[in-house]
Amino acid sequence: MNSTIDKKLAELGVSEAAGLAPLFAEVRARFDADAAVATDEFAWKAFRDAWLGRKNGVLARITDNWLKPAAPELKRAVGAALNELRAHVEARIEGRRLAIESGAGSATAARDAVDLSLPGVTRPIGSRHLLRQVFQEIEDIFVSIGFSVVEGPEIETPYYNFEALNIPEHHPVRDDMDTFYLELPNGAATPLLLRTHTSPVQIRTMEKHEPPVRVIVPGKVYRRDNPDATHSFAFHQIEGLAVDTDITFCDFTGTIDYFVKQFFGASVKTRFRPSYFPFTEPSVEFDVSCPFCGGSGTAASGGTCSKCKGAGWIELFGAGMVDPAVYGFVNYDATKVSGFAFGIGIDRLAMLKYGIDDIQVFFQNDVRFLRQFP
The site for ligand FA5 (CB under 6 A) is made up of 197, 199, 223, 225, 231-232, 235, 237, 239, 277, 280, 317-320, 341-343, 345, 347-348, 359
Alpha-helical segments (H) within 271-341: 324-329
Q: Which residue is nearest to ligand FA5 (CB)?
A: 345
On whether the CB atoms of residues 328 and 206 are closer than 8 A, the answer is: no
Nearer to ligand FA5, 39 or 179 (CB): 179
Nearer to ligand FA5, 108 or 338 (CB): 338
| Nearest distance, CB of residue 156 and ligand FA5, angstroms | 13
| Nearest distance, CB of residue 326 and ligand FA5, angstroms | 10
| Nearest distance, CB of residue 295 and ligand FA5, angstroms | 19
Q: How far apart (Å, rounded) are the C-alpha atoms in residues 282 and 335?
A: 16
Q: How far apart (Å, rounded) are the C-alpha atoms in residues 61 and 52?
A: 10
Nearer to ligand FA5, 97 or 209 (CB): 209
H/E element, 356? none
Q: How many Å separate Cα 28 from the centre of its chain? A: 41
Nearer to ligand FA5, 73 or 175 (CB): 175
- In order of 145, 262, 323, 364, the CA distances from 255 in angstroms are 9, 11, 19, 34
| Nearest distance, CB of residue 167 and ligand FA5, angstroms | 10
Question: Which residues lie closer than 8 Å to 12 by C-beta, 6 or more apart?
Answer: 19, 22, 23
* Residue closest to 341 by CA, chosen among 363, 323, 319: 319
Nearer to ligand FA5, 31 or 235 (CB): 235
| Nearest distance, CB of residue 242 and ligand FA5, angstroms | 11
